[in-house]
Chains A and B, each alone.
Chain A
């Protein structure tokens, strides 16, 4: 089936630095990708919707200047956590839907971010 690749799977960074997470759809075009965050023992929370060639749409309470999203091609979206703080430590997952053939959402493997 369709595959979404997310990289890196795990990252540890120092407080104040920035971290970039990549999400690629490997065998289909995804005009729209989604970024989620999941804190321990909590549900997946939609952070933003990434639209190819246009600005991302952020959910209420998500700082767009802190979580920069770029969706420059039909197969790649990136999430950059800027000036990371320990409270940003979380599990970040992207998903994509094949715009032309499927309603199923395919997920990346997730990125576990630890800010120290």
Chain B
């Protein structure tokens, strides 16, 4: 079993749609959780941290369920510029960072 698993995608959605990505992690001792965005041939960039209380940044909402070892990202009112690969990232002990395989999102006009 992979340490971090994500929806395989790709997701093809029209502009304005709401889309949700899911992620599960296997190490119950994992400490920190993030969503990163990666554009083609570029390095990943931090999108947002994920907390148990849930956090929102504009059109983006992230949620963590430690009991289920589950992380989610919700994007509302999708824009063309949201097209990218979204990576679920987990920091385990010892400063080790594990990436999910990523989910590709294509937003179409």
Contacts and interface: CB of A to CB of B under 8 A. Distances in A.
Nearest to B91: A103
A95 B87 contact: no
Nearest to B33: A103
Interface string B36-48: 0000011111100
B65 interface: no
A105 interface: yes
Given A103-B31, A103-B91, A105-B89, A46 B97 contact: yes
Contact of A43 (B43, B46, B101): B101
A95 B95 contact: no
A43 B2 CA distance: 12
Contact of B97 (A42, A97, A99, A112): A97
B87 A110 contact: no
A34 interface: yes
Nearest to A94: B43
Given A43-B100, A43-B102, A32 B44 contact: no
A78 B101 CA distance: 25
Contacts of B91: 97, 103, 105
Interface of B: 31-32, 34, 41-46, 49, 87, 89, 91, 94-102
5 contacts: A32-B94, A36-B99, A42-B101, A43-B100, A108-B43
